[in-house]
C-alpha cells in the first residue's frame, strides 16, 4: 500500500540538514555510477500548460522515481512518485512543491561547500521569492556568513524577505537598492529569479567570489551576462547533458562554440574529490543549477522513511493485487 504525503506532511518532516545530506550523497552516487538519471523533458500541448518530467534511480538506497509537474498561468503543481528499484512497488506519492524548494537550495549549499572560499563571510542575493529563501538557508548552513544583501524588484517583498530571513537565520539580511549593490563585494552571489535577461553582470564580480545561478532553465532565458560566464575559472553544472539542453546562461554565452563545453564540469566530480572546486583564493567559481531528478528521488526517499518512522501520511490502496 502506497503512502500519500501531502505538502503539510513534507513540511513537518523535511529540514535543510536532511536535504543537504541527501543531495550530497546523491552527487557521490552519480559519480560512482550507482545512481543514474534522465534529463528533463517538456510536453507543451497547444492548450497552454506544460508537462515537465524527469527520472532517476539510486541502487544504493533502493529507490527510483520521477519528478512530474505542470506549469500554467494558474501556477505550478509538483509530485514525486517513489518506487522500489528491486520490485517496482510504488511506496509513496509525494506532493513536492516545498520538497523542490529545499532540494534546489540544498544543491547550491553543496556547491558552496565545495567551491566557495572557506573564509567567505558575505553574500549577495538577487531574487526574493520562495526559491531565494531556501537558497540562503542552505548557504548559511554550510558557511559562516556574517552579512547578506538582498535585491528584488518589489520593494515591499524585498523588505519582508530581509526581515523574515534575518529572524530565521539569526544574521543581518539587508535590503540592497539594486542588483549591483547586492553583488559588488560579496564573497558568494546567488541569482534566484525568473528573469529572461541578465540580472548579474560579470563586471560586478569580485575576485574569489562563488556564484550560484539557479533561476533560468530554458535555453532562451538567462540570469548572467556573457562576462559573468566567461570570468569564472571553474564552471560546474548538475548535469552537462541537461545543461546543453536548457542552461540558457551557458548556451547563450558559449554562442555555439562546442569547445567551451569541454571546460564545464559536473558537480558530482567535485563533491567526490576527483575535480578541484577551487585551487586558489582569487579564482571565481560558478555553479549553474538546472535541477536534476536524483535530488528529488533522494530527498523524497528520506521524507518517506521519516514518515514511516513517525506514522505520518495517508495510505492509498493501489495495485494491491501485484506482488
End-to-end CA separation in angstroms for the chain: 11
Containing 130, the helix (H) or strand (E) segment is: helix 130-142
* Rg of the chain in Å (alpha carbons): 19
Q: Which of 67, 113, 221, 288 is catalytic?
A: 67
Contact 242, 219 (CB under 8 A): no
> What 3-state class would DSSP assign to 112?
helix
Helix residue spans in the chain (DSSP H): 7-13, 16-32, 97-115, 130-142, 155-169, 179-183, 226-230, 240-246, 248-254, 267-271, 293-310
Q: Quick one: CA torsion of 9, 10, 16, 22, rounded to 10 degrees?
A: 130
Q: Do the bridges between strand 90-95 and strand 122-126 make them parallel or antiparallel, or are there none, so unpaired?
A: unpaired
* CA nearest to 300, candidates 73, 101, 96, 9: 96
93 closest CA partner among 103, 101, 76, 81: 81
DSSP tag of 276: -
Cβ neighbours for 170, distance < 8 A, ≥ 6 positions apart: none
121 contacts 140 by C-beta, under 8 angstroms: no
Residue 91: all three cell numbers together:
511506496
What is the enclosing helix (H) or strand (E) of 196?
none
* H or E, element range at 150: strand 147-151
Look-up of cell digits 536548457: 246
CA distance linking residue 64 with residue 58, whole number of Å: 6
The answer to whether 67 is a known catalytic residue is: yes
Q: Which residues are catalytic?
A: 67
Amino acid at each position: 500500500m502506497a503512502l500519500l504525503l501531502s505538502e503539510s506532511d513534507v513540511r513537518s518532516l523535511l529540514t535543510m540538514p536532511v536535504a543537504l545530506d541527501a543531495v550530497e550523497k546523491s552527487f557521490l552516487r552519480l559519480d560512482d555510477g550507482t545512481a543514474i538519471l534522465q534529463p528533463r523533458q517538456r510536453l507543451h500541448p497547444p492548450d497552454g500548460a506544460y508537462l515537465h518530467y524527469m527520472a532517476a534511480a539510486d541502487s544504493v538506497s533502493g529507490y527510483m522515481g520521477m519528478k512530474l509537474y505542470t506549469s500554467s498561468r494558474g501556477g505550478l503543481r509538483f509530485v514525486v512518485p517513489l518506487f522500489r528499484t528491486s520490485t517496482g512497488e510504488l511506496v509513496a506519492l509525494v506532493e513536492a512543491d516545498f520538497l523542490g524548494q529545499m532540494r534546489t537550495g540544498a544543491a547550491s549549499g553543496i556547491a558552496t561547500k565545495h567551491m566557495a572560499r572557506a573564509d567567505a563571510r558575505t553574500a549577495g542575493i538577487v531574487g526574493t521569492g520562495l526559491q531565494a529563501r531556501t537558497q540562503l538557508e542552505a548557504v548559511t548552513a554550510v558557511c559562516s556568513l556574517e552579512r547578506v544583501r538582498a535585491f528584488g524588484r518589489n520593494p515591499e517583498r524585498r523588505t519582508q524577505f530581509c526581515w523574515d530571513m534575518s529572524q530565521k537565520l539569526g544574521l543581518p539580511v539587508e535590503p540592497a537598492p539594486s542588483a549591483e549593490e547586492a553583488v559588488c563585494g560579496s564573497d558568494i552571489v546567488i541569482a534566484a529569479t525568473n528573469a529572461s535577461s541578465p540580472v548579474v553582470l560579470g563586471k560586478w564580480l569580485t575576485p574569489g567570489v562563488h556564484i550560484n545561478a539557479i533561476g533560468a532553465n530554458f535555453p532562451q532565458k538567462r540570469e548572467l551576462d556573457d562576462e559573468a560566464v566567461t570570468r569564472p575559472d571553474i564552471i560546474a553544472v548538475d548535469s552537462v547533458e541537461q545543461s546543453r539542453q536548457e542552461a540558457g546562461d551557458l548556451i547563450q554565452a558559449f554562442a555555439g562554440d562546442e569547445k567551451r563545453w569541454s571546460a564545464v564540469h559536473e558537480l558530482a566530480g567535485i563533491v567526490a574529490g576527483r575535480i578541484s572546486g577551487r585551487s586558489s583564493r582569487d579564482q571565481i567559481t560558478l555553479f549553474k543549477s538546472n535541477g536534476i531528478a536524483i535530488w528529488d528521488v533522494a530527498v523524497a526517499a528520506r521524507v518517506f522513511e521519516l514518515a514511516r518512522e513517525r506514522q505520518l501520511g495517508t495510505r492509498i490502496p493501489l495495485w494491491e493485487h501485484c506482488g
